[in-house]
Amino acid sequence: MDAASDASIALPVADAGLSAADVAERVAAGSTNAYTPDTSRSVWTIVRANVFTLFNGIVFACFFVLFVLGRWQDALFGLAAFANSIIGCVQEFRAKAALDRLALLNAPQARVRRDGVEAEIAPADVVIDDILILRAGDQVPADATVIETRALQIDESMLTGESDAVDKRPGDEALSGSIVVSGEGACRVTRVGADSYANRFAGEAKRFSLVASEVRGSVNRVLKWMSWIIGPVGLLVLNAQMMVAGGWVQAWQNGGWVQAVVNTIAALTAMIPLGLVLITSITFAVGAAKLAGQQVLVNELPAVEGLARVDIICLDKTGTLTAGEIAFDALQAMPDAAAGVADVLAWYGAAPDANATARCLRDPFPVGVALEAAEYIPFSSARKWSAASFATGPVGTWVLGAPEMVFGDAAADPTTDLGRIVTELASSGRRTLVLAQAATPLGSGDAEAERLPATLVPAAVVTFREQVRDDAAQTLAYFARQGVAIRVISGDNPRTVAAIAREVGLDVAEGFDARRLPEDEAGLADALEHNLVFGRVTPEQKKRMVLALQSRGHTVAMTGDGVNDALAIKTADLGIAMNSGAAATKAVARIVLLDSRFSHLPDVVAEGRQVIANIERVSMLFLTKTAYATGLAVLFGVLVLEFPFLPRQLSITDGLTIGIPAFFLALLPNTQRYVPGFLRRSLAFAIPAGVIIAVALTLYTLGAMALGVSEPELRTGSTIILAIVGIWVLTVLSRPITRFKALVIGAMFIALVAVFTVPLLTEFFQLVDPGEDAAWLVTVVTVLTIGAIEIVRFFHRRYVARALADAGSLGGGGAGEVA
């Protein structure tokens, strides 16, 4: 924030503000703005969301029952639920701590008037009745009532949802958390700390909110389905196991109910896809941790998924393609320009509400003659110009602003002197402003209505240059290879933006002037589909452009660093903010580039694609298990058969054919762009494969019983079938088989062989020789099941290929990597 200059216009001092004694009195009374908001969920909320869930309750209840029964060997499944809860809590605690630190490090300063003197203090040090001095770019630190104003406009969109900036006059309320977009004013603080509007009602908008996640939604949908059926199926299985034990009465008398309960728990825990929840949490967490190591902060783990779905990125030029730093380039005076150009530019550069561009005029145009403005219209991002008339010195009205906004189409007409100069300079990539002069001064009515004089003539063209980021070209080239479209959206001259876009490798002839954009969504979407670069875009238009792209089915990422990007970043599917940007922008972004380097975006997108594509791959493993476990429970319940597994035996197949290999597969490189329909594609394989496995195990059980196979032999045979088929399913879903995948699958197969041959392990898992009578049956059932799964996979690949073709062409890897 800049202190007011003697050469600039200042608000009349109507109130000297609080004295030191007044401030001390209010601090002693606790009437300060000190408030420590959570930037994410509270500790209890995180624990409750990760620990106290329906299925954790079922799992831990089953774990407790087995422990009480002395069957702790069969309670290994509880470790997965415990690990899932711990990992989820730890990762969200780490994200919460990072967000808290980020909020603290980027807390804006507050400007107050005390004892008649302006001073900058921490927002927490503001007290009731303080006089806040507000200028463009400031964030209001506490609720206040406007007492002095000069064309003050405040954006309250983050609080009220109203996208248009609101004109503020004396007596109006300025809400904490809102942003000053133009003008300046003074306000008296009325509410502080926890009582302020933002902290009471709108804090969530700036803190924690759930990212739209199809993966999380799909997993939750599966869990919801299972919650509806697990109760009835559990009763069905328990009844069957009690009947097998001789009936309810006899089972209670002879103790057979213990094994019946153990069998029922085995069936129920197998139905719950705990491993999928765990591996999803781990994969998201690993992705977020890897990004954090690259100075990319992910505000919420499922935001990683959003990275994979992006197919179009909207870039704000300043701070993204360019370094965000501008410098004065040159001044080209127009013929017959009136005297006083240098003094007027010096005044604009020294004005207390000068934006970054105007401040560049301070060094080349130092204040010589102290000018006093009689009337003044501050700059606003919507108008893109400001105007002033002076009591002494240069006569008339002086306007500094974007050429097209001051002179309209004439500024872009190369047949005029102004148009020729502006188009040539803008086409070279320079940012251009025009200084215009009118013979008549601004009247109070003109200033109030923010109206330009009718007889403006150009006095000078001022140019500024921007430094293009050295990593911008290679970053855009990466997106082109990955099939991610780019739209450059800027408030600058379209020719200037197009010139910089060409410099970083975009094939664009000229930029599209956003003033000619259609108002209807369909027309706007068409313009966005056929043009790459847009200039003279207002903050509201940025938001509308994001919505228009989303209406065409695009998954949109928006990057930016300024307050004018906040609306679009909040509206986009994935908002990405630079850490060097405005606090309000970072507050609504899902991802913050901590070192503000645009070159991190390829890493961000690549990590997201790897996460989501691999989760889709491994989800088929877990959902297949859920499908066959549910099928087994229903079939054995209806046929009143003893469940063919102990819980500890299911832990073998869960761990070695699904859980452990899934962990490695979920971390493999994968550049496949995500396409919606994750759950549908996964279930298209899991359900038929699960049904086949359940039917095969049921037929094996019936055949083994007909052959008179003993119960331990039957269980061992079932475990062998499920282990071999599980390894085959793992192999099928891992194709194409790379050296690393072959190593993982081979290691799991060796581990399975060890489980079935090492005496200590066979004793623990109660595995025996299945016997010669059942050996051939195990072989036949296994071979037929594998053949049937290959058929399912053949048709599943064709289904997935057709679904992906319907959804659009893929960027990056081939369909086989995911399908």
Task: Tell me the catalytic residues.
Answer: 316
**Token code pair at residue 485:** 């479209």
Residues with Cβ within 8 Å of 473's Cβ and at least 6 positions away in sequence, in order, are 503, 504, 505
Q: Is 682 helix (H, G, I), strand (E, B) or coil?
A: helix
457-468 vs 322-333, strand pairing mode: antiparallel
Rg (Cα) of the chain, in Å, rounded? 34
First vs last Cα of the chain: how many Å apart? 54
CA distances, 280 to each of 213, 471, 553, 559 (Å): 12, 33, 26, 27
**Token code pair at residue 709:** 């196979």
Closest of 325, 149, 271, 236 to residue 630, by C-alpha: 271
Alpha helices in 245-382 (DSSP H): 248-254, 256-271, 274-293, 303-309, 341-350, 356-359
Please state, in angstroms and rounded to a whole number, the distance separating the CA atoms of residues 667 and 169. 57
DSSP state of 409: G
Closest of 494, 482, 483, 488 to residue 506, by C-alpha: 488
Residue 733 · residue 625 · CB < 8 Å: no
Please state, in angstroms and rounded to a whole number, the distance separating the CA atoms of residues 29 and 13. 28
Sequential DSSP letters for 493-506: -HHHHHHHHHHTT-
Max Cα–Cα distance, the chain, nearest Å: 112
List the helix and strand counts (H, then E) for the chain. 31, 21
Closest of 506, 498, 497, 544 to residue 525, by C-alpha: 544
Q: Is 199 helix (H, G, I), strand (E, B) or coil?
A: helix
312-316 vs 556-560, strand pairing mode: parallel
Residue 12 burial class via C-beta count within 10 angstroms: exposed 0-12, middle 13-18, buried 19 and up: exposed
DSSP run (H or E) holding 608: helix 601-638
Please state, in angstroms and rounded to a whole number, the distance separating the CA atoms of residues 193 and 184. 23
431-438 vs 397-401, strand pairing mode: antiparallel
Closest of 112, 93, 269, 287 to residue 192, by C-alpha: 112
Residue 292 burial class via C-beta count within 10 angstroms: exposed 0-12, middle 13-18, buried 19 and up: middle
Residue 573 · residue 556 · CB < 8 Å: yes
Alpha helices in 639-677 (DSSP H): 647-653, 660-665
Please state, in angstroms and rounded to a whole number, the distance separating the CA atoms of residues 59 and 85. 12
Please state, in angstroms and rounded to a whole number, the distance separating the CA atoms of residues 428 and 464. 11
Residue 460 · residue 434 · CB < 8 Å: yes
**Token code pair at residue 32:** 């300060």
CA distances, 215 to each of 220, 222, 237, 280, 575 (Å): 8, 11, 31, 8, 19
Residue 195 · residue 183 · CB < 8 Å: no
CA distances, 98 to each of 95, 176, 207, 292, 298 (Å): 5, 24, 12, 10, 9
Q: How many CA atoms lie within 13 A of 80 on its CB side?
A: 23
**Token code pair at residue 135:** 């200028």
Q: Which residue has the tokens 């009349």?
A: 12
